[in-house]
Amino acid sequence: MTSLLLIILLLFSFQVKAQVNNLLLTDSLFNQGNINTTLVKLDSLLQNDPDNTDAALKLGDFYYKVNMLNDAKYFYKESLNRNSASVRGLLGLARIDFLKGNFNSAQVLLKKVISLNSNLFSPYSILGKIYFLKNNIELAQYYFNQSLIVDPTSLEGLTNLGLIYQELGKNKLAEKYFKQAVTFNPKDQIAQINLGNFYSSIGKYHLAIITLNKALILNQSNPRVFLSLGITYLDSRLYDEAKKYFNKILELDELNLDARFYLLMINFEQKSFDSAIRHADILSSLKNNYQQLHLILSNIYFLLSNIDKALEEAETEVNYYPDEIEAYYMLGNLYKYNGNEKRYNEIMGTILNRFGTVMPNLSVGANHFGNASISTTKIGKK
């Protein structure tokens, strides 16, 4: 009996070891870029052992990594059918719900994960992001702080708190966390870029430029650092210097939308309208609904005395972005300039009803008509 039990235990040990080795093999295959082989191997493991929770989880992780979220969701659910308390399965579903904007469902899942294991960074971090997006800054701050208790040196956690304090206007605290992110991650270019972008956003352009150049030393082929340097010089109105960095981005990626947009803006500011329109045409062919593209074109055509085209571009911007007050304001003033007081009053009424305010009526033709509405520092572009 003892011998038989020993044989059974040895067989079980070999089976477990074989399963672990097979799962490790799929990791190696995936890391080598053998996507098809990885899929087939994992599916074979699951077919041979329907109760193999790890295989289901790995299939979920695989599809999540390649952004096939519906398939990822299916396999995470399959893993939970085998083990309803699987933290990886619950966290996988929560991540997918977060990415799809299903914030309430994600919150429930993340809080369940925390109840099962309170020592994980991700659930706190994602909850913080959810509350930040819901404009609940107090709870966002709480969860970001909790994430740092789990991992005090996390680049993501320190950056999140920096953003929170920046949002609250507490720039000294924001700077503290952005600088800590650099201190704990001195070789991470993103940490340097975030600190540089912070300095740029509060008008400390010298510090921004020095910090971003430190980031550039770490990786001279990352478009993000060129974009940040370009925007910093653009905000400083050093247009020719800004152009250098946006053009460097296009050398790396001629389809980069943001670099093309900012070159359009610079040419507009410099009244090089032919060049501006050329960049606009290229940008429009790549993404016709790029925010503020048609607003700037409306400005350009007004300055070129092509009122019909200016109206057309302003109407297009309003249609694409009905929550953009500047587009309505531009459109209304164009109608007023064109002598259509009725349409002007209608649009001003729309602005008042939709936004609860009416922007000051700029004198037509002063500076760039409506150009006060164009922000060089677009949210999310740095």
Out of 86, 117, 148, a domain closes at 117
What does each C-alpha distance from 256 to 232, 250, 251 come to in angstroms? 18, 6, 10
How many C-beta atoms lie closer than 10 Å to residue 118's C-beta?
A: 12
pLDDT, one tens digit per residue, over 186-227 is 999 999 999 999 999 999 999 999 999 999 999 999 999 999
Two tokens, residue 22: 């097979």
Residue 27 neighbours by CB under 8 Å, 6+ apart: 58
Domain assignment of residue 41, yes or no: yes
Residue 6 has pLDDT above 50, yes or no: no
Sequence letter at residue 131: Y
**Residue 39 pLDDT greater than 90, yes or no:** no
What is the mean pLDDT of the segment spanning 104-119?
A: 96
In a domain, 277, yes or no: yes
- The tokens of 180 are what? 């800590």
Across the range 26-51, mean pLDDT stands at 62
pLDDT for 9 equals 37
Across 325-330, average pLDDT: 92
Calculate mean pLDDT across residues 242-249. 97
Q: Is residue 292 a part of any domain in this protein?
A: yes
DSSP states of 190-232: HHHHHHHHHHHHTT-HHHHHHHHHHHHHH-TT-HHHHHHHHHH
Residue 53 pLDDT: 75
In total, how many domains does the chain have? 2
CB distance 162 to 178 below 8 Å? yes
- The pLDDT value recorded for residue 374 is 28
pLDDT in tens, 150-184: 999 999 999 999 999 998 999 999 999 999 999 99
Per-residue model confidence (pLDDT) at position 368: 32
Residue-averaged pLDDT of the chain: 84
Q: Which residue among 62, 85, 117 closes a domain?
A: 117
Residue 363 has pLDDT above 50, yes or no: no
User: Residues 215, 189: contact at Cβ < 8 Å?
Assistant: yes
Q: 223-235 and 205-218 helices cross at what angle (nearest 10)?
A: 160
pTM attached to this predicted model: 0.73
Average pLDDT over residues 138-147: 95
Distance between CA atoms of residues 314 and 364, nearest Å: 15
The answer, yes or no, to whether residue 69 has pLDDT greater than 80, is yes
Q: What is the mean pLDDT of residues 6-22?
A: 37
Please indicate, yes or no, if residue 14 is contained in any of the structural domains: no
CA distance 253 to 223: 8
d(CA 26, CA 262): 44
Nearest-angstrom CA–CA distance, 192 and 178: 8
Does residue 188 lie within any of the structural domains?
no
The tokens describing 270, both together, are 């410099």
234 in a structural domain: no
Residue 249 lies in a domain: no
Question: Is 309 part of any domain?
Answer: yes
10 Å Cβ neighbour count for 63? 21
Comparing 212 with 381, the larger pLDDT belongs to 212
Listing DSSP states for 41-90 in one string gives HHHHHHHH-TT-HHHHHHHHHHHHHTT-HHHHHHHHHHHHHH-TT-HHHH
Query: Per-residue pLDDT for 90 more than 80?
Result: yes
pLDDT digits (tens, 9 = 90+) for 285-323: 999 999 999 999 999 999 999 999 999 999 999 999 999
Is it the case that residue 66 has pLDDT exceeding 70? yes
CATH code for position 335: 1.25.40.10
Say how many CA atoms lie within 13 Å of 1 toward its Cβ: 0
pLDDT at residue number 297: 96
Confidence bin at 370 (pLDDT 50/70/90) = very low
Domain region containing 322: 266-382
Of 53, 82, 117, the domain-final residue:
117
pLDDT at residue 12, as a whole number: 38
Calculate helix-pair angle for 189-201, 155-167, nearest 10 degrees.
Answer: 10
